[in-house]
Amino acid sequence: MKALFRPVAVAALLAAALGVAPAFAAKDVTFAVASTFTTTDPYDANDTLSQAMAKSFYEGLFGFDKDMKMIPVLAESYEASKDGLTYTIKLKKGIKFHDGTDFRANAVKANFDRVTNPDNKLKRYGLYNNIGKTEVVDDYTARITLKSPFSAFVNQLAHPSGVMISPTALVKYGKDIAFNPVGTGPFKFVEWKATDYLKVAKFDDYWKKGYPKVDALTWKPVIDNNTRAAVMQTGEAQFTYPVPPEMAEVLKAKPDLVVVAAPSIIERYLSMNTQQKPFSDIRVRQAINYAINKDAVAKVAFGGYATPADRIVPAGVEYSVVTGVWPYDIAKAKQLLTEAGYPNGFEAELWSAYNHTIAQKVTQVLQQQLQQVGIKTKITLLEAGQRVEKVESWQDPATAPVRLYYVGWSSSTGEADWALRPLLASEAFPPKLFNTAYYKSDRVDNDIKQALLTTDKAEKAKLYKSAQETIYKDAPWAPLVTEKLLSAHNKKLSGVYTMPDGSFNFTDIDLK
């Protein structure tokens, strides 16, 4: 308690000494997060955390609310043409950037022209290169023309990378915009000390009157799990994510802290290389699905903070359908293996895409369970560089060394396309995208393709349902669990939510 008030008291004393005595105590909030930020420019970021942090000062045309429902933010409304090629977007009026520039359609053009120009070498180029051109219709109307119809386009605009950067600042800072972010968001950028913290302060001319309700926000990367738990207890931070499952009980016991387990769209699965023996046999893949007790994985490896996966595209993603949890049935698994010609099982490599403790536990549980039906696995936890070399950038699908592969995914556009196409379409074999099962189904390919061409929601739902059911039957994966996101916050803090994709929503942030 004491430690919580001390910095405030010191700040107040200092302020008094300098003659700027505030009318009330400043409301400063600190977030303790798990890794350092790579950049403040969402168009050049590939990690969820950097993009979540950038929401302090940036907003997009569209966005997601705390339940991952798409909402217009800087846009007023949009209209898609019949052929699905042009999107006309009406903008809200009276919005200012931190540098005083008015938010108008020229900002939309400046931002999309910037990311679609390969000379700028931005990391999100791939996500936006379906944009053919962006035009200014009038001050508050912009028109975007796509190269080919892409019905998930508005979701793509809601992606956390699709923000509006002040066109004046883009000209002024050029490549250095990442060190001088200027947006329309509730907070303006103050200071970024790379390993230590990033500070933002309330923007007084924010367009949503009465917001934000706190004066300053400090993003503090605290790498170590135990240390992150410690700073919550000392009051050096008021919010933290992620909380490791083993620390959840400790933090729950503290009277001034609240631990929240929020649903996520992060699905963990085991992919099987369907082009290679013995996994090319569907009976082997089914056997593996029967042999894994998903409840045990959720309980042992995730400390109960996960639910067994009952679908291919996790709940919360648009057009996801329940296909059911594979039942845990060792006898059935053994029978299928015998039918496939492996009565005594076989040996296989089991790789994990991560080398953290949770992945270690998951692979050990899997190893132990597959052992029950005679499948002996050798575990390798791949470090990021190895993962890239051996899995993600392997050039020839025919010789890919990956067999059983434990990995996860969250669809950052909140839509089924980005949950299926990169992982299960035949165009997505590495090194292009992440179809690590090397799964190829004409039906699924066709469903995914057709769904992108239509803007009719019912039609899309039908196509995605067909795709998911086919995948479930073909079993290129053993879906394991959907994670829950554990965060902790001080009881005085309200209005901060962990979103299903691991990002944050802090529109309503307030400190008592």
Partner 1 sequence: MLQYLAKRLLGLIPTLLLVGILVFMLVHLLPGDPARLAAGPDATPETVALVRKDLGLDLPLPQQFLRFVKGAVTGDFGRSMRTKRPVSSEIASRFAPTFWLTVWAMAWSVTIGMAIGIASAVWRNRWPDRVGMTFAVSGISFPAFALGMVLMQIFAVKLAWLPAVGADSWRHYILPSLTLGAAVAAIMARFTRSSFVDILQEDFIRTARAKGLGEPTVVAKHGLRNALIPVVTMMGLQFGFLLGGSIVVEVVFNWPGMGRLLIDAVDMRDYPVIQALVLLFSLEFILINLVVDVLYGVINPTIRYR
CA nearest to 215, candidates 200, 237, 205? 200
Told to check if 234 binds partner 1 by CB under 8 A, we report yes
- The reply on whether position 392 binds partner 1 by CB under 8 A is yes
With binding defined as CB under 8 A, does residue 314 bind partner 1?
Answer: no
> Of these, 92, 220, 299, 462, which contacts partner 1 (CB under 8 A)?
220
Write down the least CB distance from residue 91 to partner 1, Å: 28
Beta-strand runs (E) in 53-182 = 62-64, 70-72, 75-80, 86-91, 131-138, 141-146
- Cα–Cα distance between 388 and 485 in angstroms, integer? 26
DSSP state of 60: B
Closer residue to partner 1, CB minimum distance, 365 or 423: 423
Nearest to 328 by CA among 372, 294, 373, 368: 294
Instruction: Using the rule CB under 8 A, give the single segment among 70-78, 99-107, 364-372, 388-396 that binds partner 1.
Output: 388-396
> What is the footprint of partner 1 within residues 143-202 (CB under 8 A)?
175, 178-179, 193-196
Distance of closest approach, residue 115 Cβ to partner 1, in angstroms = 11
Compute the residue count for the chain: 512
Neighbours of 472 (CB within 10 A): 19
Candidate list 14, 69, 129, 148; residue touching partner 1; CB under 8 A = 129
Binder among 378, 393, 456, 473 for partner 1 (CB under 8 A): 393
Cis amide prior to 278 (ω within 30 degrees)? yes
Nearest-approach distance from CB 445 to partner 1, in angstroms: 17
| Stretch near partner 1 under the rule CB under 8 A, chosen from 166-174, 430-438, 454-462, 476-484 | 430-438
Considering the complex, state which of residue 418 and residue 497 has its C-beta at the smaller distance from partner 1: 418
Query: Site for partner 1 (CB under 8 A): which residue of 22, 100, 126, 132?
Result: 126
Site residue total, partner 1 (CB under 8 A)? 53
List 378, 432, 449, 473, residue binding partner 1 (CB under 8 A): 432
Residue among 286 and 412 whose Cβ is closer to partner 1: 412
Cis peptide before 245 (omega within 30 of 0): no
SS3 179: helix
Could you tell me whether strands 347-352 and 493-494 are parallel, antiparallel, or unpaired per DSSP bridges? unpaired
By the 8 A CB rule, do 311 and 264 touch? Answer: no
- Residues numbered 101-120 forming contacts with partner 1, rule: CB under 8 A: 118
Interface with partner 1, residue 434, by CB under 8 A: yes
Q: What is the DSSP string of 251-316?
A: HHTSTTEEEEEEEEEEEEEEEE-TTSTTTTSHHHHHHHHHH--HHHIIIIIHTT-EEE--SSSPTT
Contact 510, 213 (CB under 8 A): yes
Of 307, 250, 258, 42, the closest CA to residue 158 belongs to 42
Task: Rule CB under 8 A: say whether 46 interacts with partner 1.
Answer: yes
In b/e form, how buried is each residue of 405-439, taking b as 16+ CB within 10 angstroms?
Answer: bbbbbbbbbbbbbbbbbbbbbeebbbeebbbbbbb
Site stretch for partner 1 (CB under 8 A), options 371-379, 383-391, 442-450, 467-475: 383-391
Q: Which is nearer to partner 1, 195 or 344 (CB)?
A: 195
223 vs 322, beta carbon nearer partner 1 = 223
Q: How far is the CB of 144 from partner 1 (least distance, A)?
A: 20
Residue 133 interacts with partner 1 (CB under 8 A): yes or no? no
First to last CA, the chain: 14
Among residues 257 and 373, whose Cβ is nearest to partner 1? 257
How far apart are the C-alpha atoms of 185 and 53, rounded to whole Å?
11
Q: How far is the CB of 125 from partner 1 (least distance, A)?
A: 5
Task: State in angstroms the smallest separation of the CB of 188 from partner 1.
Answer: 21
| Binding of residue 11 to partner 1 (CB under 8 A) | no
Residues that bind partner 1 (CB under 8 A): 2-3, 36, 38-39, 45-47, 118, 121-127, 129, 175, 178-179, 193-196, 220-224, 226-227, 230-231, 233-234, 236, 383-390, 392-393, 412, 418, 422, 431-434
